[in-house]
Amino acid sequence: MKNFYIIILAVAVVGGGVLYYAIGGGTPAVEPVEVSDAELTELAKPAYVYGDPDAPFTIMEFADYQCGSCKRFAVMVKPQVDEEYISSGRAKLEIYDFPLVNLHPHAFLAARAARCAGDQDLYPEYHDLLFDTQNDWFEMASAVGHFKDLAKQLDLDARAFNGCLDSDRHAKGVSANMELGQASGVNSTPTLFVHEGGPPVYRLGGAGFLDIQRFMETDGAEN
Amino acid sequence: MTGPHHPSPLEWLEPRGEPRAALRGDTPPRNRMAVAVLSLVGAFLAFYLLAANLGWTPPVPCGSGDCATVQSSKYAKVGPLPVSGIGVAGYLALLALSLAGLQGRLIRSRLIPLLLFGGALFGVLFSGYLTYLEAAVIEAWCRYCVVSAIIITIVFVATLPELKRIRAGIRT
C-alpha cells in the first residue's frame, strides 16, 4: 500500500504541476489595456498600411475582425479599392483596430493575432485568413487555438507566434487604436475616413465601394 | 493449552452472511489501485480540457485545428454542462470510490464494486458515444479526448474483477 500512495502522490504532484503550468503559463491579453498619453502618441498608428506610403490619398479603416460588415468590406470592397486606387498608387489603405469588445469577445485577441503575424511580415495574409474563417471562430468559447492554427497554415514560426499571442504583446497598440477611434467619434465598424495627407479628414457615410469612389472621384478630385 | 474463544475484530466487523473466507487475509485489491491512479490522470486531463473550454488556459495545443473544432462543436456540451466537466466529475467519483474501496472494512463493501463497475461502464459507454461523434459526425479528432477515451477504457477493464465481488455479494 505504501508504494501505491507514493504513486498516487507522484501523479498528483506531476499532474498538478502540468495543470498549473498550462493554466498559468501564459495568459493572452484579450481586453484593452491602459495607455499613457506618451504611448498613445507613439502607438496611435495603423496596424498595417496597404499600398504606397507616399500615395496622395489615405483611406483609414477602423475595423473589427469579428464584425460581419468588416468581413464584407475585406472580401468585397477592399479588392475593388485595391484595383482602382491602391495598385495605381493614388491611395493607400490604413487599417486601424477598433474591436467592439462589448459585442465581440474574440475581436481584441484577433487584432493582436494579426499584429503578431505582422511581426513575421504576414499581416495581410493573416488578415485575410481571419476574415475568411470568421464563421468558424465567431462562436468559439476560446479562439486562441484557432488563431494559432491559422498561423500554422501560413507557416509562421509557431513558437514566436504562440509566444506573442499568449502574452500581452500589441495590447497597447490595439488599445491606442481604439482610443484614437473613440476620439474620432468611431462607434461602429467598419468606419472609413479619407484625407489627403492631413486635415481636413473626411468621414465617409458608408463603407461601400461607391462611398469611396464618390469621394475620390468628386470631393477628392476637388481637393 | 486452549483458552476461551474470543472473537477477533474481524468477526466483530463481519457483515452478517458474508462468507468468512472472503473476510480473512483480505488485501487491498490491486485493480482498485490501478483504477485510482488512472482516474487521477483522467481527472487532470479532463480538468485541462475544461479549463481550455472555459477559456482559462490559452490553447489546447493540438497539431491541427481539430481540437478547436471538437471543443467548439455543439456536442462539447450536454445542456449547459461542458462534456469535459462531466469527465472531471466522473473521474473524481471513480477516484473517490476506488480509494474508499482500499480502506479497511470498505474493501469488503458490497456497494463499492457495484458503483465502481457501474460508473466505469457508464464512463466507457459515454466515451464511446463521444468518440463515435468525433469520427462520424464532427469528423474531427481531439487527441486529448482520444487519450481520455483510452484511459476510461483501461479503467473499465480494471473494474472487471469487481464483477466477481458483485456476484459473491449477491450469492450470500
Q: Which ipTM did the prediction report?
A: 0.71
**Residue B50 C-beta-side C-alpha neighbours within 13 Å:** 16
**Residue A87 C-beta-side C-alpha neighbours within 13 Å:** 7
- The pTM of the full predicted model, rounded to 2 decimals, is 0.53
Q: Provide the pLDDT confidence category of residue B151 given band limits of 50, 70 and 90.
A: very high
Q: Do B44 and A18 touch (CB under 8 A)?
A: yes
Q: Do B40 and A12 touch (CB under 8 A)?
A: yes
Q: Of A147, A167, A174, A138, which is closest to residue A32 (Cα–Cα)?
A: A174
CB-based contact (8 Å) between A17 and chain B? no
B44-64 pLDDT, tens digit per residue, is 999 988 887 776 655 455 544
Average pLDDT, chain B: 81
What are the backbone dihedrals phi and psi of residue A96, each rounded to the nearest 5 degrees, phi first? -115, 140
Query: How close does chain A come to B168, measured CA to CA in Å?
Result: 24
Closest by Cβ to B57, choosing from A23, A139, A140: A23
Q: Do B65 and A146 touch (CB under 8 A)?
A: yes
Give the Cα separation of A148 and B167 in Å (integer): 52
Give the Cα separation of B71 and A13 in Å (integer): 27
Dihedral over alpha carbons A178, A180, A184, A186 (to 10 degrees):
-10
Closest by Cβ to A11, choosing from B41, B48, B68: B41
CB-based contact (8 Å) between A23 and chain B? yes
CB-based contact (8 Å) between B146 and chain A? no
- The CA-atom distances, in angstroms, between A71 and each of A64, A104, A196, B45 are 9, 14, 26, 37
Give the three-state DSSP class for A92: strand
Give the Cα separation of B13 and A156 in Å (integer): 67
Q: Is the pLDDT of residue B5 over 80?
A: no
CB-based contact (8 Å) between B52 and chain A? yes
Give the three-state DSSP class for A130: helix
- Before B15, cis peptide (omega within 30)? no
pLDDT at A116: 95
